[in-house]
Amino acid sequence: MDNRDIRKAEKSFPELPRNKHQTNLLKEEEEHHHTIENQKTSEQSEIHSQVLEPDGHFDWIKGSRQIQHVSQLNGTINDNNWEDVIREMRNITGGTGTTYTDGPAFEWEQLKKTSYRHIALTPEQDKTNVQFVCSWTVLKMIVTLLSFIVPFILTAVILDNMAAGNLTRILSAVLAGVVGFPVGRFILKLYFNKQKKQLQDILEAALRILKQS
């Protein structure tokens, strides 16, 4: 029997009708699923609307090297939900940090080779004050230097092989280094946006945890 005969045989068996009880159960299950999805979407929209966009805009001339942010969230941070907030921050930033308390404030500090991040959550009545700072001075220095040095050296080597004059090699290499400047700024801009996005995610995760506590 080939595939065509099998398909004909399958069509010859009518689909068994569902009784009303089965149909109602399926409808209730679908409605329950849609209700849960709508609640999740509504909750996410509500949380997103309550969190202010992180402060600051990228400075293309100086090259921004930090983000500072101060805001207030509904809900109170405490010993019970602090560990949940720490877990979310680790997941979002992809790294561990040092936790400690300073008076009523719950603080988390993360130090990497090229960047530093610190956040303090302080309870105040039924709200939580947030102070956040993230800086990447070392990364900025590395990117700025490389964006000039790499095209400078490459251009000098290429022109040297072409037997160009000394003045031509020097001027062309310097010009190439200057042209590399906006490339470095673009890289810093991408990193700046990444840090703002991570801060936004941290604030939304913290607010979600505070609301559930």
Which of 13-17, 40-44, 107-111, 185-189 has the weakest average pLDDT? 40-44
pLDDT computed for residue 80 by the predictor: 92
**3 state DSSP class of 53:** coil
Report the length, in residues, of the chain. Answer: 213
pLDDT computed for residue 155 by the predictor: 79
**3 state DSSP class of 106:** strand
Cα(127)–Cα(54) distance, integer angstroms: 18
Domain boundaries, the chain: 26-213
For 181-210, what is the mean pLDDT?
92
Higher pLDDT: 193 or 173? It is 193
Predicted confidence band of residue 43 (pLDDT cuts 50, 70, 90):
very low
Cα(174)–Cα(180) distance, integer angstroms: 10
**3 state DSSP class of 145:** helix
Predicted confidence band of residue 38 (pLDDT cuts 50, 70, 90):
very low
pLDDT computed for residue 39 by the predictor: 46
* C-alpha 127, offset from chain centre: 24
Q: Kindly report the backbone phi and psi dihedral angles of residue 133, in degrees, each rounded to the nearest multiple of 5, phi listed first.
A: -140, 140
- Percent of the residues in the chain that have a pLDDT greater than 90, as a whole number: 41
Q: Are 177 and 152 in contact (CB under 8 A)?
A: yes
User: Given the structure tokens 């947030």, which residue do they identify?
Assistant: 130
Which amino acid does the sequence have at 133? V
Cα(68)–Cα(66) distance, integer angstroms: 7
Q: What is the mean pLDDT of the chain?
A: 79
pLDDT computed for residue 158 by the predictor: 76
pLDDT computed for residue 53 by the predictor: 55
Which amino acid does the sequence have at 83? E
Is the pLDDT score of 47 beyond 60?
no
Which of 55-64, 96-105, 107-116 has the weakest average pLDDT? 55-64
Which amino acid does the sequence have at 84? D
pLDDT digits (tens, 9 = 90+) for 130-154: 999 999 999 999 999 998 888 888 8
Q: Are 203 and 73 in contact (CB under 8 A)?
A: yes
Going 100 to 80 to 213 to 75, the CA torsion angle's sign is negative
CA atoms within 13 A on the CB side of 24: 3
